[in-house]
C-alpha cells in the first residue's frame, strides 16, 4: 500500500499539482477541489503551518545603516556634478530588520521548496507588468497565519463536502484554513 495518493498522474505532475494547490490555499485561504486531492493538500499545508508556528518568534531585530539614494519631489534621483561627472547623492538611513536564526532560516527554505512564488496583479493593471507585486508567502505564514494558530495543536484546515461534480461525479470539497 502506498503512503500517498497517486491521483492518476506521474510523480512530477503530481508534485506540481500539489504545490500549486497548497500555494493557492495559503494565498487565498480556501479552494474548491476533489476530496482525494484535498486530503493530500491537507497533509502538506498542516506541516507547513506547524513549521511556521514552531519558528514564528525565532528571530532577532538588528539595526543597520543603509545608503539610500536621495530623491526629488518627482521621485527621481538627485544628481550632482563631481569632477565633471554626474553622481547620485546618497543618504545614510538607520533601518531595523529581522534577522532569522538558523532554525527559522531552515524552516523558511523548507517552505520555499513547496510553495511557488505569487505575483499579485491589481484589476486595473491586468495584462501589464506595472503595478504588480511579489507576495512572500513564507512571510505571510510567519507573520499572519502562525500567530493565529499558536494556541492550536494541529487541525489548521477544514474540509466541507459540497457534493459531486457534474461531469464525472467526483466528490467536491471546500478546503479552507480554520
Asked whether residue 110 falls in the same domain as residue 142, the answer is: yes
Domain boundary among 40, 68, 100: 100
Number of CB atoms found within 10 A of residue 171's CB? 13
Asked whether residue 111 falls in the same domain as residue 37, the answer is: yes
**Contact 103/110 with Cβ under 8 angstroms?**
no
Asked whether residue 77 falls in the same domain as residue 109, the answer is: no
Asked whether residue 133 falls in the same domain as residue 171, the answer is: yes
Asked whether residue 96 falls in the same domain as residue 122, the answer is: no
pLDDT in tens, 34-47: 999 999 999 999 99
pLDDT in tens, 113-135: 999 999 988 877 777 777 788 99
pTM value is 0.83
Asked whether residue 92 falls in the same domain as residue 107, the answer is: no
CATH number (domain holding residue 154): 3.90.1030.10
Residue 74 has pLDDT above 90, yes or no: no
Q: Report residue 119: phi and psi, to 5°.
A: -110, 125
Domain boundary among 100, 118, 152: 100
DSSP string, 36-60: HHHHHHHHHHHHHHHHHHHHTT-EE
pLDDT in tens, 125-175: 777 777 788 999 999 999 999 999 999 999 999 999 999 999 999 999 999
- Domain holding 27, by residue range, is 11-57+102-177
Helix (H, G, I), strand (E, B) or coil at 175: strand
Domain membership of residue 32 (yes or no) is yes
**Contact 116/19 with Cβ under 8 angstroms?**
yes
Domain membership of residue 1 (yes or no) is no
Amino acid at each position: 500500500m502506498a503512503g500517498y495518493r497517486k491521483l492518476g498522474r506521474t510523480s512530477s505532475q503530481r508534485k506540481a499539482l500539489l504545490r500549486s494547490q497548497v500555494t493557492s490555499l495559503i494565498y487565498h485561504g480556501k479552494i474548491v477541489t476533489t476530496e482525494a486531492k484535498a486530503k493530500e493538500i491537507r497533509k502538506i499545508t498542516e506541516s507547513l503551518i506547524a513549521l511556521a508556528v514552531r519558528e514564528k518568534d525565532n528571530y532577532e531585530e538588528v539595526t543597520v545603516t543603509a545608503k539610500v539614494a536621495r530623491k526629488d519631489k518627482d521621485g527621481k534621483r538627485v544628481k550632482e556634478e563631481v569632477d565633471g561627472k554626474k553622481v547620485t547623492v546618497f543618504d545614510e538611513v538607520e533601518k531595523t530588520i529581522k534577522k532569522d536564526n538558523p532554525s527559522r532560516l531552515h524552516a523558511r527554505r523548507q517552505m520555499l521548496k513547496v510553495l511557488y512564488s505569487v505575483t499579485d496583479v491589481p484589476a486595473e493593471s491586468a495584462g501589464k507588468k506595472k503595478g504588480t507585486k511579489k507576495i512572500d508567502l513564507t512571510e505571510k505564514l510567519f507573520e499572519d497565519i502562525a500567530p493565529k494558530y499558536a494556541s492550536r495543536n494541529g487541525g489548521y484546515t477544514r474540509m466541507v463536502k459540497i457534493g459531486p461534480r457534474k461531469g464525472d461525479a467526483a466528490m467536491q470539497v471546500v478546503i479552507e484554513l480554520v
